[in-house]
């Protein structure tokens, strides 16, 4: 099952510059859901860590971060951005840690990129195994409302050495969100073009909660990001945060 997601590699630099800051903007939400209850120096797994913005922010708070991501290029940037954290290239569907972490986090709808419910359940099973008893798992997902309201437009960036346009669309019958990204990079006296298409799966709340319970998580709940966490996330309707815990007896 292991896949190092090389399709994401050309996107890593653009992601780091223009998108990765979302992870740090939701730190107050993570404080409320899990971080404020962790002991000093707690060990945290940053699942699908991208280019390391969240790992950098939480390492600065004294937490011990381990990040995994399937993109070698994203991990390379993360290692430079968060030198106090530990990173490895690995597949969220097929990684192994054994009871090492007080908490696991996955942010910026990373797990929507897992396109099959059985594989998403495998991710949950891997996280469960990685947590200590009482460990907490927090992640966010784009839900149907998010795809209906936000996956129907395009936006872009133009700077002296690069340009990028991202076109988003929603395929409701297939439960898929699609983002087509075209990038141009200036290389000395010429421009180079790169294209990537990223897909997301639209899951519903009940199937996610059921999958969490099926691997042993307890107390699973979903919070509406736009309604429960203030103005910052109200601009992103249809994003839910899921919280669950591994029983202390395990």
3-state secondary structure of 39: coil
Per-residue pLDDT tens for 156-206? 999 999 999 999 999 999 999 999 999 999 988 899 999 999 999 999 999
Q: What is the pLDDT of residue 5?
A: 58
- Residues facing residue 44 across a β-bridge: 65, 103
pTM (predicted TM-score): 0.94
Of 229 and 110, the structure prediction assigns the larger pLDDT to 110
**DSSP codes joined into one string, 102-151:** EEEEE-TTGGGG---HHHHHHHHHHHHHHEEEEEEEEEEEE-HHHHHHHS
Structural domains present in the chain: 6-143+203-245 (3.40.50.150), 146-200 (2.20.25.110)
Which tokens in the block code for residue 46? 């940053």
What confidence tier does 1 reach under pLDDT thresholds 50, 70, 90?
very low
Mean pLDDT of 78-102: 96
Q: What is the pLDDT of residue 45?
A: 98
């Amino acid at each position: 099952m292991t896949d190092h997601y090389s399709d994401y590699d050309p996107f890593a630099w653009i992601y780091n510059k223009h998108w990765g800051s979302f992870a740090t903007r939701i730190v107050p939400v993570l404080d409320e859901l899990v971080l404020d209850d962790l002991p000093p120096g707690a060990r945290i797994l940053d699942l699908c860590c991208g280019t390391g913005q969240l790992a950098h922010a939480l390492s600065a708070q004294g937490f011990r971060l381990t990040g995994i991501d399937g993109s070698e290029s994203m991990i390379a940037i993360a290692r430079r951005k968060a030198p106090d954290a530990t990173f490895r290239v690995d597949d969220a569907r097929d990684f192994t840690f054994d009871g090492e972490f007080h908490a696991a986090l996955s942010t910026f709808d990373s797990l929507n990129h897992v396109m099959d419910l059985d594989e998403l359940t495998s991710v949950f099973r891997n996280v469960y195994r990685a947590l200590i008893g009482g460990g907490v798992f927090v992640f966010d997902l784009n839900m149907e409302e998010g795809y209906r309201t936000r996956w129907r437009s395009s936006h872009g960036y133009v700077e002296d050495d690069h340009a990028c346009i991202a076109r988003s669309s929603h395929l409701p019958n297939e439960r898929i969100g699609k983002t087509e990204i075209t990038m141009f990079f200036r290389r000395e006296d010429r421009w180079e073009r790169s294209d990537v298409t990223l897909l997301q799966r639209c899951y519903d709340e009940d199937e996610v909660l059921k999958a969490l319970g099926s691997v042993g998580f307890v107390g699973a709940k979903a919070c509406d990001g736009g309604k429960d966490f203030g103005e910052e996330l109200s601009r992103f309707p249809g994003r839910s945060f899921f919280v669950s815990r591994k029983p202390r007896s395990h």
